[in-house]
Chain A
């Protein structure tokens, strides 16, 4: 075989990525230590001033805290919910195909469109969620919750919408893991008198830990770096109550035209991405060894 063929086949794809991912990453580092703004041609080196300025603003601190809250709470809900749902979907039953279709809808639908659907579900005046809650006697008709208008409720809404959106993906990944376990293992446990919870908590769930970690990792990276649900539902408001790092970077860098400050805020996403990459590499390495 010719030795040049392999690299020649691989080169175009890598070149494309190097140019259009590598170059912007470098440019982002450059912008973050300069004072570039949209419309000004001259820029000068300002060191880490953008980073220290960002860290000092209350908006940034709020966004950082919200990003962690948003990620941790939604992904904790997702991993618990998805495990429960995957266990329930494991055995074949009538209508399983339809259920899988319905369960997957939030993940397949473009998130901006799912979010606008939720904006209508949580409307201040015509919210069907509130109508149901009023009908069930949970809240009073005179003073229904303003889901997107009150700081705490707005955060809760954004978290729940994002949970709704990412749960299906974790479910299908976990389901794939569960169905890859040989059937005789849980069956043997059942024969030995182990109940449903005992079987799963001490046998099947530990067996799918590597794949659950992959699902969680993708969920965390995807959530920490996403701004779509926040942007559509609340625009980061009311008064920064739901602002997260990516949306703050967007408002500062793109809408505000302060490229250098925006780039600096974006780069705060980087440590978490790096951590995600390292964990993923370790998983890949382990499966290579075994």
Chain B
């Protein structure tokens, strides 16, 4: 039994190291002097020269990176708003009001989440062209809800189902309409569910690559996910210090928030498969 325990610790340590090493490497690279980075005689795993903030300064002062962050934030907030407006009522309707038919419709909605951008990007690029939204962030704001709405509706449906029906029924006996009972009683109770869904819808936006690569062409219109790997390159040269700093800024804060809400996500995601 002891031997198994030690073996399990070794497995955990090995995986944690292998999975997180690239992020350690990003951090190290972003603070190293250029002369340190490109000297083949150096041990690359440590600082051979004093660390520097030069790459970070350059990234924020002399590239379009701040603009891309702002673009991503704008798209993210708009998409989260559309997602909530569409999926909160839909999830409530599916959870409470439509019975067996609701169950089927809920599953159909969930299956839409499986439809990948790579199946739709070509026809979608025609739709975007017809609407004259090429190279505009509005194209992403229009298209991203196609995957955030199914995802959010499914999660919220689980949250609403876990709220006892008596709660609204009591409010309705007190004279509130069904809609008022929903707005005044159910929504406040499921606030943490709404926050969870907003956060995950936002991370889906942040992670999207294919549509943004397809629809946007100007350097100033990019989101972080496409701008950094495609446009943060001058000529043929990769500026690894800046690139790695840019990756860290986009990854680490989200990872922290994501961790805080992870348990609720899993709960919602595995409804049906875990009993």
In the complex the two chains form, is B229's CB within 8 Å of A6's CB? no
Neighbouring A residues of B145 by C-beta, 8 Å: 16, 20
Q: B167 near A: Cβ within 8 Å?
A: no
Q: A59 near B: Cβ within 8 Å?
A: no
Pick the contact of B93 from A10, A84, A228, A283 — CB < 8 Å? A10
Give Cα A227 to B118, complex, Å.
8
In the complex the two chains form, is B240's CB within 8 Å of A105's CB? no
Neighbouring A residues of B224 by C-beta, 8 Å: 110, 113
Count of chain B residues with a beta carbon within 8 Å of a chain A beta carbon: 98
Neighbouring B residues of A180 by C-beta, 8 Å: 274-275
Q: B75 near A: Cβ within 8 Å?
A: no
In the complex the two chains form, is B38's CB within 8 Å of A126's CB? yes
In the complex the two chains form, is B120's CB within 8 Å of A273's CB? no
Chain B 218-253, CB-CB to A under 8 Å as 1, else 0, gives 000000111011000000001010011011001100
Neighbouring B residues of A249 by C-beta, 8 Å: 118, 121-122
| CB-nearest residue of chain A to B92 | A9
Pick the contact of B251 from A2, A110, A126, A232 — CB < 8 Å? A110
Pick the contact of B127 from A27, A221, A267 — CB < 8 Å? A27
For B107, B123, B210, B214, the residue with the greatest tally of chain A CB atoms inside 10 Å of its CB is: B123
In the complex the two chains form, is A31's CB within 8 Å of B270's CB? no
Chain A 94-106, CB-CB to B under 8 Å as 1, else 0, gives 0000011111111
Give Cα A226 to B119, complex, Å.
10
Q: B116 near A: Cβ within 8 Å?
A: yes
| CB-nearest residue of chain B to A278 | B111
Contacts A17-B150, A105-B20, A121-B25 hold; do A112 and B122 have CB atoms under 8 A apart? no
Q: B207 near A: Cβ within 8 Å?
A: yes
In the complex the two chains form, is A113's CB within 8 Å of B229's CB? yes
Q: B49 near A: Cβ within 8 Å?
A: no
Mark the stretch among B7-15, B50-58, B59-67, B188-196 that contacts chain A: B7-15
Q: A188 near B: Cβ within 8 Å?
A: no
A-B contacts at CB below 8 angstroms, number: 293
Q: A72 near B: Cβ within 8 Å?
A: no
Neighbouring A residues of B137 by C-beta, 8 Å: none
A194-211, CB < 8 A from B: 195-196, 210-211
B139-160, CB < 8 A from A: 142-143, 145-146, 149-150, 153
Give Cα A254 to B226, complex, Å.
16
| CB-nearest residue of chain A to B101 | A6
Contacts A21-B120, A225-B118, A263-B122 hold; do A104 and B273 have CB atoms under 8 A apart? no
A223-269, CB < 8 A from B: 225-228, 231-232, 245-246, 249-250, 253-254, 259, 262-263, 266-267, 269
Neighbouring B residues of A133 by C-beta, 8 Å: none
Neighbouring A residues of B198 by C-beta, 8 Å: none
Q: B184 near A: Cβ within 8 Å?
A: no
In the complex the two chains form, is A110's CB within 8 Å of B209's CB? yes
Neighbouring B residues of A109 by C-beta, 8 Å: 23, 247, 250-251, 254-255
Chain A 108-130, CB-CB to B under 8 Å as 1, else 0, gives 11111111111111010110100
Q: A62 near B: Cβ within 8 Å?
A: no
In the complex the two chains form, is B228's CB within 8 Å of A27's CB? no
Pick the contact of A102 from B20, B94, B153, B244 — CB < 8 Å? B20
Neighbouring B residues of A2 by C-beta, 8 Å: 178
Q: A45 near B: Cβ within 8 Å?
A: no
Chain B proximity of A148: nearest CB distance (Å) = 12
Q: B90 near A: Cβ within 8 Å?
A: yes
Chain A 1-22, CB-CB to B under 8 Å as 1, else 0, gives 1100111111011101100110
Neighbouring B residues of A176 by C-beta, 8 Å: 266-267, 270, 274
Give Cα A222 to B97, complex, Å.
32
Contacts A10-B90, A13-B149, A106-B19 hold; do A177 and B270 have CB atoms under 8 A apart? yes
In the complex the two chains form, is B126's CB within 8 Å of A1's CB? no
Pick the contact of A89 from B12, B102, B244 — CB < 8 Å? B12
In the complex the two chains form, is B266's CB within 8 Å of A120's CB? no
Q: A65 near B: Cβ within 8 Å?
A: no
Pick the contact of B122 from A17, A227, A253 — CB < 8 Å? A253
Contacts A108-B254, A117-B244, A226-B118 hold; do A81 and B123 have CB atoms under 8 A apart? no
Pick the contact of A116 from B38, B150, B228, B273 — CB < 8 Å? B228
Q: Which 6 A-B pairs have the closest CB atoms?
A: A9-B93, A6-B97, A13-B90, A225-B116, A246-B118, A27-B123
Known pairs A93-B9, A106-B19 / 14 extra A-B pairs, C-beta < 8 Å: A10-B94, A24-B123, A111-B209, A112-B209, A113-B250, A121-B25, A126-B44, A131-B45, A211-B270, A214-B270, A245-B118, A250-B118, A259-B122, A267-B119
Q: List 16 A-B contacts (CB under 8 A).
A: A6-B102, A16-B146, A31-B126, A84-B11, A88-B12, A103-B16, A103-B20, A104-B259, A111-B209, A113-B224, A164-B22, A195-B4, A231-B209, A263-B123, A273-B115, A288-B103
